[in-house]
Amino acid sequence: MDLRLNGRVAVVTGGSKGIGLAVVRTLLEEGARVVAASRTRGPGLDALAGPGLVHVPVDLMDPGAPARVVERAVEEYGGLDVLVNNAGGPPPGVTLPRFGFLTPGDGDWREMFEFNLFSAVRAIRAALPHMIARGGGAIVNVSSGNARRPVPMNVDYSAAKAALNNLTKALSEEYGPQGIRVNCVSAGPTVTDWWTKEGGAADVIGAQAGAGRADVIEKIGPEMMQLTTGRLAEPQEIADAVALLVSPRSASTTGADFVVDSGFLKQF
């Protein structure tokens, strides 16, 4: 299927690995010109290097960073059509999961909202004038099933993603008449660095369960989270949903929460 993205200009935050890297790769394959934002470039982006890809090294915990990324896209390619707010998860230097409401303090809550909500708010604020000038655009916020299925673990993360979902709905109403579509993709547990890195979620859960990293990812994690498919999702599966939603093929889809979660959200 031709997604009609050839020549479109896209910004993808958190674009150097995991879901973000898969989104960057997919948009490039569809002919888009992509500006990827992340703290470091990494081998994944290096492998995609070409005239249609620009990397902007920024820390999205910096309030000024999202606007700098958007301005770079406009400088390089003359405008902006697509924004994918993918950056999220544990803030830099933080390991999740964290168990219990009393575990994170005020500073933890602030960092979590800075990374998972405010960075998206700032990117959208910077992007909207450029999209309006082009007669429209598409924004996708990468959220989480935990926004709708909170548990006594990572409560600050779940709350930040719930706020992101609410923001998505509000923006779709306000800017839909100006040709800007805003949607969410709510990812379930996905095979990313969050799970697989040394000291990551699989190691934290494995330490409690007396199991190795591979067993947690392949068996214990899917069973614990009651995933219908029996496995964590792959980043490409999330990226495919994002690419479809930013495409003109989804011209009548706005304010939606597109779930790609291996059957995690059974009751919603």
Q: Which are the catalytic amino acids?
A: 157
Tokens representing residue 97 in the block:
């999961």
Residues 6 or more apart in contact with residue 111 via CB below 8 angstroms? 61, 91, 94
Contact (CB, 8 A) for 153 and 103: no
Tokens representing residue 257 in the block:
């929460």
Q: Check the CA dihedral 29-252-87-130 and report its sign.
A: positive
CA distance 161 to 171: 15
DSSP structural state of residue 253: -
Chain-centre distance for alpha carbon 2: 23
CA distance 241 to 190: 14
Place of tokens 């007669």: 135
The full length of the chain comes to: 268
Query: What's the order of all strands across the beta sheet hosting 82-85?
Result: 53-57, 33-38, 9-13, 82-85, 137-144, 180-187, 257-260
Tokens representing residue 194 in the block:
């969050």
Tokens representing residue 119 in the block:
């960075």
CA distance 167 to 227: 27
Q: What type of residue sits at position 254?
A: T
Helix, coil or strand: residue 111: helix
